Amino acid sequence: MRTILLSIALLLFKTVSMAQSVTPDEYELKEFSIRDNKLGLIQFYVDTVNILRKAPLFIEVNGSGGLPLCLYVQGEKFVTTPVTFNEELFSKTKDRCHYIILGKPGTSFCDTLNLDVSVAAYQKNPSQVLFAYKPSREYTNRLSLNWRVQATQAVISYLINHGYWDQTKIVTYGYSEGGQVVPSLAVKDKRVTHIATVVGSGLNQLYDGIMSWRIKAAKGELTQQQAQDSIDVSFKRIADIYKNPARTDKETGGHSYLRWASFGTVVPFEQLRKLTIPIYMIAASQDESSPIYGLDYVRLEFLRLGKTNLVYDTCVGCNHYLSSSESNKDVNVSYVDKILAWVQLNKK
């Protein structure tokens, strides 16, 4: 899941009249819209810093869920506006590239969420908004791997046709679910020159849940039989997903069957192996959301196949947000800086 911890600025409720950034222009972004007969309304945002000049394109593909890019949270005597795009990435690319990010289908740039919690309770668990916010029906009906790939292709075409691209690089940076989108995007769209996949996946993501039960049993957290019972239940659910791959009225784990089936049909490694363009992959060794074993497998297979276009970088002791899993503090390295340096070294 996409981190919402990138911008947490708490204010006392009595100061709610103070400026809270809730529109694209307040984040130095310009909103664009494409209405597609098949995909519906596609909304995307481009930085305004050098919007009148041609530049390389740097596209962020964020994580899962129907959250807007900005969320105005009203709690008990406080308000906050977390964002679901990578502000460090935005700040470090906007002067050298056109930074672009797409909204999710049926989702406005910013929305309001009322939470009946105190400042202390929110600070202790800010990720609770992931479960409290209810995405739109349009989001549920449309969101899939194919939608995200095709919508991003449409945005690339729009920016090229309207003179924003300087005909050098088109970099796609995918985080979490986005890390599973960008390999398929690059396979389908040869205009993409570089991909960075950050805490994505290498294997079928439906396998992650199966393996987690096995690991719990191996660690003694469950008996072997308890783990097997849970795995059998998971396989029954997975079988139902594959039998009903277009259903949006059936959900599990917070996502529609359509979403699960689309991501569970295309294995990221199978897409990655088709690519000859530069790939930067970041894995986190203590990531429970995107377990590292599936990403280690990608590294192994690239060696077996003799492919040399992969840079594999492990954030040791890190969780899904590339923070220390013990202290929950940022690590002493900027992976954004590492990716940008890699892009610079790997010319088109």
Confidence of residue 100 (pLDDT cuts 50, 70, 90): very high
In the predicted structure, residue 15 carries a pLDDT above the cut 50 = no
Confidence of residue 184 (pLDDT cuts 50, 70, 90): very high
Q: How far does Cα 11 stand from its chain's mean position?
A: 28
**Lowest-confidence segment of 4-8, 194-198, 263-267, 297-301 by average pLDDT:** 4-8
> Within the chain, what is the greatest distance between any pair of CA atoms?
62
Sequence-distant (≥ 6) Cβ neighbours of residue 12 within 8 angstroms:
77, 78
11-203+267-345: which CATH number, 1.10.10.10, 3.40.50.1820, 3.30.200.20, 3.40.50.300? Answer: 3.40.50.1820
Q: How much is the pLDDT for 326?
A: 73
Sequence-distant (≥ 6) Cβ neighbours of residue 312 within 8 angstroms:
281, 283, 295, 298, 299, 302
Average pLDDT of the residues in 260-277: 98
Judging by DSSP bridges, how do beta strands 165-175 and 194-198 pair with one another?
Answer: parallel
* 0.85 surpassed by pTM: yes
For 121-172, what is each residue's pLDDT tens digit? 998 888 888 889 999 999 999 999 999 999 999 999 999 999 999 999 999 9
Torsion sign across C-alpha atoms 157, 159, 165, 170: negative
